Amino acid sequence: MKIFLLVLLFLLFLTIAVIPKEFKIKQRVVLVATGDVSLARSVNTRIHKYHDPTWPFIKTTEILREADITLINLESPLITNCPLTDTGMKFCGDSGNVAGLTFAGVDVANIANNHTKNYGEVGLEETVDVLTQNGILASGRERVAYKEIGKTTFAFVGYNDVGEKEGDFSEIKEVRQKADVVVVSYHWGNEYTTQVSDRQKYLAHLVVDAGADLVIGNHPHWVQSTEVYRDKLIVYAHGNFVFDQEWSQKTKEGVVGQYTFEDGKLVDWKLLPIKIIDFGQPHFVY
């Protein structure tokens, strides 16, 4: 009987040892990335009116929270004593609005854009502190966010090409040595157009050449096209996600990118359409 069991165990060991690689369990990670998120102006006043910082995200949390990593482009500093206003181009949201981000399951907030410094370096640093204190990593503006899921390490890098030019991508080459997947958020292009500019394409190719695995574009406030360059996906603009631009159909629309990686390789991706109602509350329309 003992001999029989030993033979059985030996055969089982041989069976496991010869399982082809394609049948072995792979490390799967789902990354969700949104369009522009501004908790300022009319979004901020409605949060104040409803006494609910989770209000902008109530209809989309199912997808956001189910992801292994959720990335947003945060286009407003979060500060104390933010003035309530529905107008103007100097953006801010109340620091308490971060509760909406945690409710939505946000893991990483890109802060490399043309509004996070609307209240100067002080406002930017307060924003980073508020995010950090609530378990949200900040990327961009010389900050790299690392997120480890299982055995896969993701690095998030951000750049802004609106009002300031960032062209040194040595940072990407450095983090490439530390991460399995490098995701670059880029704030770029021209507003209110579906046309991808030559400069966007130029910058996108540069960051892929530097080592980016996925390029997440934002700023135009309209959805723009995608491109595969050197087997790497570039999504030029996701449109708006939480924003108060109620004045046109296209600014009330956007997509949420759902990117699936297996063992550090992008194997599937979807762009889930959303529509914004009531000056800042998106919901899925697929």
Look at residue 278 and tell me if it is in a domain: yes
Beta pairing, strands 240-242 & 28-37: parallel
Q: Examine the pLDDT at 286 and tell me if it is beyond 80.
A: no
- Residues 12-16: what's their mean pLDDT? 50
- State the pLDDT at residue 25: 73
Look at residue 15 and tell me if it is in a domain: no
Residue 25 vs residue 269, higher pLDDT: 269
Look at residue 12 and tell me if it is in a domain: no
The single-letter code of the amino acid at 79 is I
Task: Count CA atoms within 13 Å of residue 281 on its CB side.
Answer: 13
- State the pLDDT at residue 24: 62
Q: Examine the pLDDT at 2 and tell me if it is beyond 90.
A: no
Domain that holds residue 232: 29-284
For residue 92 the two structure tokens come to 């801010």
Do 276 and 253 form a contact (C-beta atoms < 8 A)? Answer: yes
pLDDT band of residue 19 (cuts 50, 70, 90) is: very low
φ and ψ at residue 107, rounded to 5 degrees = -105, -40
Look at residue 21 and tell me if it is in a domain: no
For residue 227 the two structure tokens come to 């491109």
Do 71 and 277 form a contact (C-beta atoms < 8 A)? Answer: no
From first CA to last CA, the distance across the chain in angstroms is 60
pTM for the whole structure: 0.91
Task: Count CA atoms within 13 Å of residue 255 on its CB side.
Answer: 20
Look at residue 2 and tell me if it is in a domain: no
Q: Which tens digit of pLDDT belongs to each residue from 79-122? A: 999 999 999 999 999 999 999 999 999 999 999 999 999 999 99
Look at residue 3 and tell me if it is in a domain: no
- State the pLDDT at residue 26: 83
Distances (CA, A) of 37 to 237, 238, 252, 254, 270: 13, 11, 12, 11, 20
Q: Percent of the chain, pLDDT > 70?
A: 91
Q: Which tens digit of pLDDT belongs to each residue from 227-237? A: 999 999 999 99
Q: Which tens digit of pLDDT belongs to each residue from 24-38? A: 678 999 999 999 999
Look at residue 70 and tell me if it is in a domain: yes
Q: Which tens digit of pLDDT belongs to each residue from 130-168? A: 999 999 999 999 999 999 999 999 999 999 999 887 768
Domain count, the chain: 1
Q: Percent of the chain, pLDDT > 90?
A: 88
Could you tell me the CATH number of the domain that includes residue 186?
A: 3.60.21.10
Quote the mean pLDDT of the chain. 93
Task: Count CA atoms within 13 Å of residue 266 on its CB side.
Answer: 21
Look at residue 73 and tell me if it is in a domain: yes
Q: Examine the pLDDT at 15 and tell me if it is beyond 70.
A: no
